[in-house]
Structure 1
Amino acid sequence: MGIEKLQAELDKDLEMLRARDFWGALALICCAVFFLWRTSFIPFLGENRAGVSGAEWYNSAAIVPFGIWFAMLLLGLVLLRIAIKAGGAKRAFSAVGLGWDRQEAIRIGSIAVIMGMFIFALVPRVDFILASGLVITALIYGFHAGRVERMLQSAVAVILPGIYALFMHFPQAEWNKPHDDDWLVMAAWVLLTLWMFAHDRSRIARATPWVAVLTPLILVTAMAFGFRQNVPNRGGLLFSKIEYHYYVTLRPLWRN
């Protein structure tokens, strides 16, 4: 009887999880479709004025957003398919899919706050590598173990520098001004990483700094120098140095 009761509870939890996956997949698909639609307004095949092409397709600023949001759309469709096959669609419209779960609410709320701060506060005003590194570290440390206290700690680590950047450099004219917000984000990133090492000895924790550094570094350099895209905050604390040495130190080596 104990085993049957435990199995019934596990089945119920799985049904609830798949129901939430169903709603989450729909939200992700709607979000991806909206941003794909907005990205479609960016010239992709090059503007043609007076018979002269303004840009080649591979230089279009729409390439990276199209790639990101198309990948999000595919991810949403895959998640939706899995949820439907597992019975999530059937349960999604019942009280099971809408039940209150404190830990789940904190998880979703923390992720929403972190991504909101990243998109609207940090990316326009802070060096992209620093902002992305902080957010990647916060998401991995805060959510890979499913512990509520880590979720809240990671959210606070992103919220504090995000609020500072938002209020101290709110207008667009201030976005490339002194790097006080860059230094604050770097400090928050370093402190969160040290805190993670002090409380988590897992392989995931040891790999997190590599992922947090290399992912935005490769992405932003590929965007700026490979696809020649306009990257956020070119005057950022780190990217301004990378761009300077690329054009002044490295590029002349193969041009000469």
Structure 2
Amino acid sequence: MDIEKLQAELDKDLEMLRARDFWGALALIGCAVFFLWRTSFIPFLGENRAGVSGAEWYNSAAIVPFGIWLAMLLLGLVLLRIAIKAGGAKRAFSSVGLGWNRQEAIRIGSIAVIMGMFIFALVPRVDFILASGLVITALIYGFHAGRLGRMLQAAGAVTLPGIYALSMHFPQAEWNKPHDDDWVVLAAWMLLSVWMLVHDRSRIARSTPWIALLTPLILVTAMAFGFRQNVPNRGGLLFSQIEYHYYVTLRPLWRD
């Protein structure tokens, strides 16, 4: 009897998961299509728009965004296919698919707040490595264990620097200047990392600082110096130093 009851609960949870996967897949597909459309305005494949040449495709600033949004579109289509095959589409409009769940709402809301602050507040104004490191740390710490308190802490750790950057340096004319908001984000990142390491002794927590630092560092250097792509906020606290030493210290070594 206990096994049957447990199996019934598992089946119910699976039905709810697949029904919500259906909505999540549609959201992913919608976002991917929108950003692919916006990315299509960037010159690509040798195009010339408004006097801006796309040059060769591998030098186009559109190549990385196209890759990201195509991957998101593919992920959404795969998730949608799985949800439909598992019956998620049939239950999407039922109480299972639309039902209120406090923990689920907090989780989705926290992720939305973090990503919204990252895209609209931090990326245009703050060093990309610092902003990405803070967000990666917040996402791993806040959501890998599924605890509501951590989700809210992670959202707060990103929201406060984001609000500061928006309120202090809102005009676009100030976006590419070195500012105190870089230091605020760095402080928030360090505090969140220390808090995480003190309260979470798991292997995931110990590896998070390395992931949060190396992932954006490798990505931004590859984009800037390998693929010659545009990098957000080139005058940021860390990237400005990386760019300076690349051209002044490292590049002359193989140019001579």
Q: Same fold (TM over 0.5)?
A: yes
Q: Tell me, what secondary structure is at the counterpart of 1:161? A: helix
Deviation, 1:48, is 4.7
CA contact (8 A) 2:126 2:181 kept: yes
CA distance in 1 between partners of 2:85 and 2:148 (Å): 30
- Shift of the 50–108 alpha-carbon distance from structure 1 to 2, 3 Å rule, reads closer
Query: Where in structure 2 are there 5+ consecutive unaligned residues?
Result: none
Deviation, 1:135, is 0.1
Deviation, 1:84, is 1.6
Moved more, 80-89 or 164-173: 80-89
CA distance in 2 between partners of 1:51 and 1:121 (Å): 30
Q: Deviations over 1:186-237 (max 9, x none)?
A: 0000000011011111111111111101110011011100111110000000
Deviation, 1:35, is 0.7
CA distance in 2 between partners of 1:185 and 1:49 (Å): 36
CA contact (8 A) 2:43 2:54 kept: no
Q: Deviations over 1:37-70 (max 9, x none)?
A: 1111111022459999662221111101000000
- Shift of the 162–79 alpha-carbon distance from structure 1 to 2, 3 Å rule, reads same
CA distance in 1 between partners of 2:116 and 2:193 (Å): 21
Deviation, 1:79, is 1.1
- Shift of the 53–138 alpha-carbon distance from structure 1 to 2, 3 Å rule, reads closer
Q: Deviations over 1:19-46 (max 9, x none)?
A: 1011000110011011111111111022
- Shift of the 14–214 alpha-carbon distance from structure 1 to 2, 3 Å rule, reads same
CA distance in 1 between partners of 2:221 and 2:123 (Å): 16
- Shift of the 110–222 alpha-carbon distance from structure 1 to 2, 3 Å rule, reads same
CA contact (8 A) 2:133 2:213 kept: yes
CA contact (8 A) 2:19 2:91 kept: yes
Query: Where in structure 1 are there 5+ consecutive unaligned residues?
Result: none
Sequence identity of aligned pairs in percent? 91
- Shift of the 12–230 alpha-carbon distance from structure 1 to 2, 3 Å rule, reads same
Moved more, 184-193 or 50-59: 50-59
1:227 corresponds to which residue?
Answer: 227
CA contact (8 A) 2:44 2:54 kept: no
- Shift of the 235–58 alpha-carbon distance from structure 1 to 2, 3 Å rule, reads same
Moved more, 87-96 or 146-155: 87-96
1:186 corresponds to which residue?
Answer: 186
- Shift of the 39–206 alpha-carbon distance from structure 1 to 2, 3 Å rule, reads same
Deviation, 1:178, is 3.9
- Shift of the 12–177 alpha-carbon distance from structure 1 to 2, 3 Å rule, reads same
Deviation, 1:242, is 0.1
Moved more, 181-190 or 44-53: 44-53
The two structures have a TM-score, normalised by structure 2, of: 0.96
CA contact (8 A) 2:177 2:236 kept: no
CA distance in 1 between partners of 2:82 and 2:129 (Å): 34
Q: Deviations over 1:77-123 (max 9, x none)?
A: 11112212222112112111000000000000000000000000000
Q: How does 1:24-173 map to 2 (within 5 A)?
A: 24-48=24-48, 55-173=55-173
| CA-atom RMSD in angstroms | 1.8
Moved more, 116-125 or 54-63: 54-63
Structure 1 stretches of at least 4 aligned residues deviating more than 4 Å after TM superposition: 48-54
- Shift of the 173–49 alpha-carbon distance from structure 1 to 2, 3 Å rule, reads closer
CA contact (8 A) 2:178 2:235 kept: no
- Shift of the 78–147 alpha-carbon distance from structure 1 to 2, 3 Å rule, reads same
- Shift of the 169–8 alpha-carbon distance from structure 1 to 2, 3 Å rule, reads same
Q: Tell me, what secondary structure is at the counterpart of 1:186? A: helix
- Shift of the 223–178 alpha-carbon distance from structure 1 to 2, 3 Å rule, reads closer
The two structures have a TM-score, normalised by structure 1, of: 0.96
- Shift of the 187–51 alpha-carbon distance from structure 1 to 2, 3 Å rule, reads closer
